[in-house]
């Protein structure tokens, strides 16, 4: 799932990498996800498209790298999915909160949320973050109709992010993670595998 030449590697030309990422961020923000191409990003950064592939992998991988978050959501979610659908709602939430509640990670995630909605339409959340980054991973958990269930999961998780982290609504902001898991986990489970009209 992770890019073959991702974060863990130390490429020889950090400036080139940074220039590609800057060009990629500008293109995703201005043109959106679908209209962004590796070729155009490479041209804007003044490098060969093959180098972009070499550094970052696919366009999906480039998007995740451009988010500049200290975690790859696909890597974080993989073990949740691997453990299967039983109890997945609570596991998913526990993993999610474990990342978001980490004071080292949270500022970067909040910055990501702001940059993702910063294009005023939330287009990158709609066109890339949910369908391209987290959707395909979570599809391994749903009993059927991932195209309906995953957006329902997203609607609750997004609301939780807004309530707990963005606006800090009491008592959501200070609720112990295990209480959130116990209260909201069953809802995610319902959306993932419950009876849904």
Binding site residues, its own copies, CB under 8 A: 117, 121-123, 125-126, 130, 147-148, 151-152, 154-160, 162-164, 166-172, 179, 182-184, 186-187, 190-191, 196-197
Write 115-124 long-range contacts (CB < 8 A, 24+).
115/25, 115/29, 115/67, 116/67, 118/29, 119/29, 119/32, 123/32, 123/33, 124/28, 124/29, 124/32, 124/33
Least distance to its own copies, CB of residue 185, Å = 10
> Which CB sits closer to its own copies, 58 or 155?
155
Least distance to its own copies, CB of residue 177, Å = 13
Least distance to its own copies, CB of residue 162, Å = 5
> Which CB sits closer to its own copies, 99 or 162?
162
Least distance to its own copies, CB of residue 132, Å = 13
């Amino acid at each position: 799932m992770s890019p073959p030449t991702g974060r863990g590697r130390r490429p020889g030309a950090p400036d080139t990498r940074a220039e590609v990422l800057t060009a990629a961020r500008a293109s995703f923000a201005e043109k959106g996800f679908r209209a962004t191409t590796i070729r155009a990003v490479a041209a804007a950064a003044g490098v060969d498209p093959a180098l972009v592939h070499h550094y970052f992998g696919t366009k999906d991988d480039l998007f995740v790298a451009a988010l500049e978050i200290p975690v790859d959501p696909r890597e974080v979610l993989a073990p949740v999915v691997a453990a299967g659908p039983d109890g997945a709602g609570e596991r998913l939430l526990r993993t999610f909160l474990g990342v978001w509640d980490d004071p080292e990670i949270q500022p970067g995630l909040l910055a990501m949320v702001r940059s993702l909605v910063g294009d005023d339409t939330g287009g990158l959340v709609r066109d890339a973050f949910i369908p391209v980054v987290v959707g395909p991973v979570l599809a391994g958990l749903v009993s059927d109709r991932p195209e309906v269930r995953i957006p329902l999961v997203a609607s609750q998780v997004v609301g939780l992010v807004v309530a707990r982290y963005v606006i800090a609504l009491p008592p959501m902001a200070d609720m112990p993670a295990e209480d959130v898991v116990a209260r909201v986990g069953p809802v995610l489970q319902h959306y993932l595998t419950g009876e849904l009209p």
